[in-house]
Copies of this chain bind each other. A is one copy, B any other.
Amino acid sequence: MEFEEKTVQRTEIYQGPIFKVVTDQVELPQGKGLAQRDLIFHNGAVAVIALTPEDRMILVKQYRKAIEATSYEIPAGKLELGENADPKAAALRELEEETGYRGRLELVYDFYSAIGFCNEKIKLYSASYLTKVDNPRPQDEDETLEIVEVTLEEARELLASGDICDAKTIMALQYWEAKMNK
């Protein structure tokens, strides 16, 4: 079966610091005619499941303008241009900047966050051998973060209350639950 949608014309709508917006006119497969595809291009991101030796997950409370609310999320950050070659280093940097911890990272999942219209790919790592850094890298200037360490029970409560509400953090909780049941 033929699936490909060939680009007939691409119009760039916006190029911003975080993402680019384009509108494609595409030719549908199987002679189905033309259609419009609005797309977001994003450089990708990294996120880290960080469990302390005391079996607590490190979460970051922060304000998210897109939803006009705070949420609790696993440490994460977008890849800067040029960082795609070494996403693990970027993940270590984010972990240290946001939480003051260093660790050893292993890739768990590599996934598109919103595949229907956006190419943002998130590399989700699990960190082990976590140690506190004496003089951690400073946080980004425009971020206001509060770091918390929660038990699995507390994490479940944050999920139930809606304070944990994003895909990557829920995936991290599912990963944690599965690990505890092994």
| Chain A interface residues toward B at CB < 8 A | 1-5, 13-14, 16-19, 21, 23-24, 26, 28-30, 32, 35-42, 45, 61-67, 70-71, 73, 76, 78, 109-120, 122, 141-142, 144, 146, 162, 165-168, 170-171, 174-175, 177-178, 181
- Interface pairs A-B: 10 shortest CB-CB: A174-B174, A115-B166, A3-B63, A113-B114, A37-B65, A35-B142, A167-B167, A16-B38, A66-B119, A112-B166
Since A37-B65, A118-B118 are in contact, a sample of 14 more A-B pairs with Cβ atoms closer than 8 Å, ordered by chain A residue number, is A1-B144, A13-B13, A13-B21, A16-B36, A16-B38, A17-B38, A19-B38, A40-B118, A64-B112, A71-B115, A111-B166, A112-B167, A114-B114, A178-B181
